[in-house]
Copies of this chain bind each other. A is one copy, B any other.
């Protein structure tokens, strides 16, 4: 049995991979550049293969280096989970829980969700990050987040998902358009460029268009909003229409607005809400409890 590499050296390798720079990686690990440099060399020696190609000035991870990084990441995540588990005495609802959430969900459920979690599990220390699906997936992969609350479907990239509930889409329009379009809304009766959407970075844009079966792209206004709140403002100010998720309406996003809420298009229009996590996690029990609490704050729960 050959000698195992030290976890410390593996973290050095991960930091180097993340920062692509010895100095910054060393800083991130709170060690000197020389320590990190020799740590990497040590690792290469132990593993008997080159992990990075040196180029006198810069460097590049080899294919093997990338593979080792990926495996090392999993090992370190597992070890951290082991430590957390032990330090919280096996209580799965203690210790740090790092949740990622998209901006078209976060503002409407994270408040009550974290309040309920704090109340039921006071020893749980929540860290919450709000970002786009794409960014959150990166943070999940890198082990910077434990679990994501996302709107589905999503490109899982090897991760695992649990569907927790549904969030219906409504259409919000100015009174004039509401009269014109009827209920459920007949998109053909709306003027061209009268429907406002979020920037394409938000997955809600695609989900809404698909779920509400908005086929005619001419109805879409080319100006996009960067948040649901500004989307509402935009639709109202420019005498248009837009899609709003039920949970946002429940949270009172339309309070003080003159927009009319109606059913969009034909058929069931909703997005699914779910949890996404690494398939190699050892915190499924924790996520299950999280899913149960989360389900309470969704318009429609489909848990179990």
Cβ of A48: which chain B residues have Cβ within 8 Å of it? 86-87
Are A82 and B71 in touch, CB under 8 angstroms? yes
Q: Does A256 contact B (CB under 8 A)?
A: no
Instruction: Name the CB-closest residue of B to A62.
Output: B90
Interface size class of A (residues with CB under 8 A): 20 to 34
- In angstroms, Cα B280 to Cα A81, docked, is 15
Which chain B positions have C-beta within 8 A of A85? 67-68, 71
Q: How many copies are assembled?
A: 2
Nearest B residue (CB) for A77: B75
Chain A 241-270 interface 0/1 with B at a Cβ cutoff of 8 Å (1 = within):
000000000000000000000000000000
Residue A180 lies at the interface, judged by CB distance under 8 Å to chain B? no
Most chain B beta carbons < 10 A, residue from A47, A63, A68, A79: A79
Of B49, B68, B82, which contacts A68 at CB under 8 A? B82
Q: Does A89 contact B (CB under 8 A)?
A: yes
* Contact (Cβ within 8 A) B5 A49: no
The docked-state distance in angstroms from the alpha carbon of A2 to that of B84 is 9
A154 within 8 A of B: no
Within 8 A of B (CB), among A76-101: 76, 78-83, 85-87, 89-90
Residue A188 interfacial (CB < 8 Å): no
Instruction: Give Cα distance in the complex from A5 to B5, angstroms.
Output: 13
Q: Is A74 an interface residue (CB 8 A)?
A: yes
CA distance A4 to B64 in the complex (A): 25
23 pairs from A and B in contact (CB 8 Å cutoff): A2-B83, A2-B87, A4-B7, A4-B11, A4-B80, A4-B83, A5-B83, A6-B6, A47-B82, A47-B86, A48-B86, A49-B86, A49-B87, A64-B86, A64-B90, A67-B90, A68-B82, A68-B85, A71-B282, A72-B82, A74-B78, A75-B78, A78-B78
Not counting A4-B80, A6-B6, a sample of 9 additional A-B residue pairs whose C-beta atoms are within 8 angstroms of each other reads A2-B87, A5-B83, A6-B7, A47-B87, A49-B86, A67-B90, A68-B86, A71-B282, A74-B78
